[in-house]
Amino acid sequence: MIPGPFADLDRQKREMREAVRRRLAAMSPAHRDAGSAAACERVWEFLQGRAMADWRERGVMLYAPFSTELDVGGLADKLFGLGVPVFLPLMAGKAMRPALVSGWHPIKAHTGPGPFQPGPGAAEQAEGAPSGPTVVLVPGLAFDPSGGRLGRGRGFYDRFLAQQPAGRIAVGVAFDEQVVDSVPRGPHDSGVCVVITPTRLLRS
């Protein structure tokens, strides 16, 4: 039987995931820490260029990083210090929704049952909470300059990003080693508006 186009797409994704994972595994902790700090500063500069009544009031959605992912904890500290609402992704079945959180370090120390799910301190959209984040920071294994994103294969962010309300901006955050010429994409793969690395800001 001749493989169909989706079988070929799956193979391309699998090979790219393996290649990028090898790049991430080869990075030293010092290089990873320095890259994370530089990328957080670049994201902060990007946020400063947006209207104050936008993300400062409605909030920003971060993510709790895996060991090899870019750590956005430095940005979390800045946001909490200004009183900006901070969200993390909360899994419910195959869906993902923003959960308002009250702190960063306890969340990293006590993760929930899922790898992306925040632990103690997470809340549903509580009464009086903002209507939701204006900016969503999106992790991934690989990104390309046109906003293409390759995730870990579970589809949570693809489904979430496909249903974004008008005005919400998806920002891919990654190390330079994760930027490729072109990410293999299928009809259900969602991209991002901007990709930010320690050294670059790429607008799709």
Does 127 have pLDDT greater than 50? no
**Main-chain phi, psi angles of 113, to 5 degrees:** -65, -25
Nearest to 100 by CA among 78, 83, 81, 75: 83
Provide the whole-model pTM: 0.85
CA dist 153 and 40 (Å) reads 25
Does 104 have pLDDT greater than 80? no
Helix (H, G, I), strand (E, B) or coil at 203: strand
Mean pLDDT of 171-176: 97
Residue with tokens 């820490």: 33
Identify the band that residue 50 occupies on the pLDDT scale cut at 50, 70 and 90.
confident
Q: What is the per-residue pLDDT across 2-43, written as a single tens digit (0 to 9) for each?
A: 445 556 888 999 999 999 999 999 999 999 999 999 999 999
Length of the chain: 204
**Residue ranges of the alpha helices (H) in the chain?**
5-26, 29-48, 52-58, 73-82, 105-109, 156-161
CA dist 136 and 10 (Å) reads 26
Does 119 have pLDDT greater than 60? no
Q: What is the per-residue pLDDT across 70-102, written as a single tens digit (0 to 9) for each?
A: 999 999 989 999 999 999 988 878 888 888 888
Identify the band that residue 112 occupies on the pLDDT scale cut at 50, 70 and 90.
very low
Nearest to 171 by CA among 127, 203, 199: 203
Q: What separation in angstroms does the CA of 118 have from each of 16, 37, 151, 199?
A: 28, 22, 19, 29
Q: Identify the pLDDT of residue 185.
A: 87
**Domains of the chain with bracketed CATH:** 5-203 (3.40.50.10420)
Q: Identify the pLDDT of residue 38.
A: 98
